Amino acid sequence: MEHLILKKTFGNKNLPFDISDLILDVSGDYIYSSIFDGAGKILKSNLSFKITKIDSIGGALKKIGDKVYFSRPNFVKTINGDSVYTELSKGIDHSIYSDWNLCINADSNIVTNNGIGPFSTSVYNAKTKELIKTFPSSPHDQMELLQDGVVAVDTRQGIGTDDTVIKFIGEYYEEVSGKKFEDYRVFYFNESSNGDIWIATLKGEVIRIYNNNHDYEWVVSDPYGNGKLRNSKVYYIYEAYGKVYLCNAMGIDVFDPKTNTYDYLDLDLGTTPFYVKGMVHDDKDQIWIMDYNILYCYNLNDKSLKKYPVPEEYKIFVNPCKDLVFHENKILYKRNDGIVSIDLDELGTSRIPENVIFQDLFVDRAKIYPNDNTGILDSSLLYQSVFSLNYNQRNIGFKFVSVDSKELFAEYEYRLIGLYDEWINIEDERVLHFTNLSPGKYEFEVRVKSSNGKWSRSTSKRSFEVLAPWYATWLAFLIYTFIIGGSSTLSTDCK
């Protein structure tokens, strides 16, 4: 349903002149109805930040050193800007299955893990491109080169005890504790820059191995915080600027190894469901956090938070969590259908919300229609900017919207000049009512701000006047004067 004969313009929106109603449908679009021209949909502008797919079939994606590696079924490639270069062309025996993960080992050789078909791990000589070794191995969600030169993985299955290529991360716990690591895999692990190894277990517990792998602890949690981990059911761990970020059901807890205490990242989420899909930090003291619907940017200096909606076609559906990649001022992440690139320069420049449009007018909380028996509106409030109210209509309300406010997580501010001049923030509330307004002239103003701090280009206004009751008009006072004057004269004559 799209309206074709359009006669009015709001910003870059064309609308018919006789709109009688405007509603938000379940898909997040705004549908209007008009008296003579039928119904239609307001077409919203495209999201202004740049997202492009670099390649079509996604495998593993990882930044190692200064290079961004990307695996395909028959290639391992590196990404430079929008260009893709081949680092490794596999033999025909290894070309039909997509790599689940990859790593560069201590000898600078390429280690790949096949997660589809006959599961295996292979090692290729980075210089000669020849296959050095391949062996059966489970698919590994994590494959990381640790500081001791060992490639650690999250799953024990398929790893021989004498194998020198990869090592199950749980073995580090076994070595430092002398006890058996009971699970066959871990939920997530991370080695921080100071050498600490963090392990999130399948049973909802956290192990920290520290002091050059000589000591360990089962991390104690406290749901009230008090400088401790709030919830031990950690599903993702990330390190940035020397601090460790542990994602759990209560949010993101931040461990400072200098104080050995936890702080808590305040993302001001309200009731929004939140599950981190990946994180990365840039070179401007900012941490970027991706969940299913939103890309958050948290500034560590001023604690400010910006939110950017993720379009449906670029949302991350896959589990488990993966580190995002920051490269050339772009954020890269993997989907099943390719690699997505977000240009941060574009992301922060043109996210300006649409100007507010007025949808409905209410008197005594009843909706007012054009040319109804109230006599207030001659046309839709979308277009009529000035109107008058009788004294018995002085309980008034407005409904308004910026059509892309939902996508921009926008907040509204308003003021009613004639009652008060200060701007009042009402977050995402879009209906306001005023009661018992005194006779006089008023101007109702609304503006909107996106989550990244961009204001709408202009303030939307509606002017109106509350008329005085008949007994308080100048004509009534003139009559009162005559009556009082006449009574005084009559009294004098009687005397």
CA distances from 409 to 339, 425, 427, 429, 454 (A): 26, 14, 9, 12, 11
Q: Are residues 246 and 191 in the same domain?
A: yes
Q: Are residues 214 and 138 in the same domain?
A: yes
For the stretch 154-197, pLDDT in tens is: 998 766 554 677 899 999 999 999 999 999 899 999 999 999 99
What's the sign of the alpha-carbon dihedral 468, 469, 470, 473?
negative
Residue 4 lies in a domain: no
Task: Specify the pLDDT at position 30.
Answer: 58
The CA distance from 409 to 306, in Å, is 9
The CA distance from 327 to 121, in Å, is 27
- The two three-digit tokens of residue 148, written as one number: 């001791």
For the stretch 350-381, pLDDT in tens is: 568 888 989 899 999 999 999 999 999 998 88
Number of domains in the chain: 2
In CATH, what number is assigned to the domain containing residue 457?
2.60.40.10
Q: Are residues 236 and 339 in the same domain?
A: yes
Q: Are residues 205 and 330 in the same domain?
A: yes
Q: Residue 81 — pLDDT band, cuts 50, 70, 90?
A: low
What mean pLDDT do residues 418-443 have? Answer: 94
The CA distance from 258 to 281, in Å, is 20
> Does residue 143 surpass a pLDDT of 80?
yes
Q: Are residues 253 and 341 in the same domain?
A: yes
Q: Are residues 397 and 300 in the same domain?
A: no
Out of 14-28, 239-253, 332-346, 392-406, which region has the weakest mean confidence (pLDDT)?
14-28
Domain extent, residue 247, equals: 51-347
Task: Specify the pLDDT at position 165.
Answer: 79
Residue 45 lies in a domain: no
Last residue within a domain, chosen from 292, 316, 347: 347
Residue 172 lies in a domain: yes
Residue 11 lies in a domain: no
What mean pLDDT do residues 251-279 have? Answer: 84
For the stretch 282-328, pLDDT in tens is: 999 999 999 887 888 999 998 888 888 787 777 877 666 888 999 88
Q: Are residues 304 and 384 in the same domain?
A: no
Q: How far apart are the first and last CA of the chain?
A: 83
Q: Are residues 356 and 335 in the same domain?
A: no
**Which residues, in sequence order, are CB contacts of 315 under 8 Å at separation 6+?**
292, 293
Task: Specify the pLDDT at position 495.
Answer: 52
User: Half-sphere exposure of residue 491, counting CA atoms within 13 Å on the CB side?
Assistant: 6
Last residue within a domain, chosen from 296, 330, 347: 347
Q: Are residues 468 and 387 in the same domain?
A: yes
Q: Are residues 342 and 367 in the same domain?
A: no
Last residue within a domain, chosen from 319, 347, 375: 347
Task: Specify the pLDDT at position 478.
Answer: 73
CA distances from 248 to 140, 187, 398, 493 (A): 22, 12, 41, 93
> Does residue 6 surpass a pLDDT of 50?
no
Residue 426 lies in a domain: yes
Residue 24 lies in a domain: no
Percent of residues, the chain, with pLDDT higher than 70: 76
Q: Are residues 85 and 100 in the same domain?
A: yes
What mean pLDDT do residues 22-26 have? Answer: 55
For the stretch 381-421, pLDDT in tens is: 888 999 999 999 999 999 999 887 777 778 999 999 999 99
In CATH, what number is assigned to the domain containing residue 96?
2.130.10.10
Higher pLDDT, residue 369 or 485: 369
Out of 35-49, 121-135, 438-452, which region has the weakest mean confidence (pLDDT)?
35-49
Task: Specify the pLDDT at position 488.
Answer: 53
